[in-house]
A and B are shown apart, each in its own frame.
Chain A
Amino acid sequence: EDQVTQSPEALRLQEGESSSLNCSYTVSGLRGLFWYRQDPGKGPEFLFTLYSAGEEKEKERLKATLTKKESFLHITAPKPEDSATYLCAVQGNAGGTSYGKLTFGQGTILTVHP
């Protein structure tokens, strides 16, 4: 069974203080690792997809990286508007059927203080 563990559960940063969020995973046949941002009362907003170890993607102050066992979401010089819950999810290939099924971690609640 696919598993995703995110750490830390909560992270408080000062504006401009860079940091990283961790996503450890176990999956049989990784088809993709996904990062989402979720604001309170809203649905998850897609950020990145990573498919293979060594892959990196960037968007504004965010950079996602992938190894065979974990992924990191690096936040450079964060702003208060980056405050949200960041979710990591994997799509595996268990049983050869993975249509639409992502396994999510519990998320990291990020708070950026001005």
Chain B
Amino acid sequence: KAGVTQTPRYLIKTRGQQVTLSCSPISGHRSVSWYQQTPGQGLQFLFEYFSETQRNKGNFPGRFSGRQFSNSRSEMNVSTLELGDSALYLCASRAGTGTTGELFFGEGSRLTVL
């Protein structure tokens, strides 16, 4: 069974640009969550989607947004990039429809902002 797939794996952008990251969840998983991982802050929750609806959102500015498609694939977008947005962006999927259950993470997209 294929795991969570994230693309691209690595990317470099400059300040002020925008970026879109893609995530394909494990087959059959309908819940997709996004996290940001940095050395200083660790793993921080961005948002969660289920059936194309955002059900939960973390404490990030509005420059961070996401969406989910009918096939459960998800994208996240960061606009007007800042140096501090350099991080590993992780997508995770979960089986079931409720609130509880383990998340299965992808390998991440490493974003460097220059």
Contact = CB atoms under 8 A, between A and B. Distances in A.
Interface string B70-114: 000000000000000000001010100001111111111010000
B31 A100 contact: yes
Interface of A: 31-32, 34, 36, 41-46, 49, 87, 89, 91, 93, 97-107
B59 to A, nearest CB: 10
Nearest to A46: B102
Given A99-B48, A100-B45, A100-B56, A43 B107 contact: yes
A100 B102 contact: no
A99 B45 contact: no
Contact of B99 (A45, A87, A98, A105): A98
A56 B97 CA distance: 25
A87 B43 contact: yes
A31 B102 contact: no
A101 B100 contact: no
Given A44-B90, A87-B43, A107-B42, A100 B108 contact: no
Interface of B: 4, 6, 31-33, 42-45, 47-50, 55-56, 58, 90, 92, 94, 99-108, 110
B48 A43 contact: no
Given A31-B99, A34-B102, A101 B48 contact: yes
A105 B42 contact: yes
A89 B45 CA distance: 11
B43 A104 contact: yes
What 10 pairs across the A-B complex have the smallest Cβ distances? A100-B48, A100-B33, A43-B105, A104-B43, A99-B55, A99-B56, A101-B45, A99-B48, A31-B100, A44-B105
Contacts of A87: 43
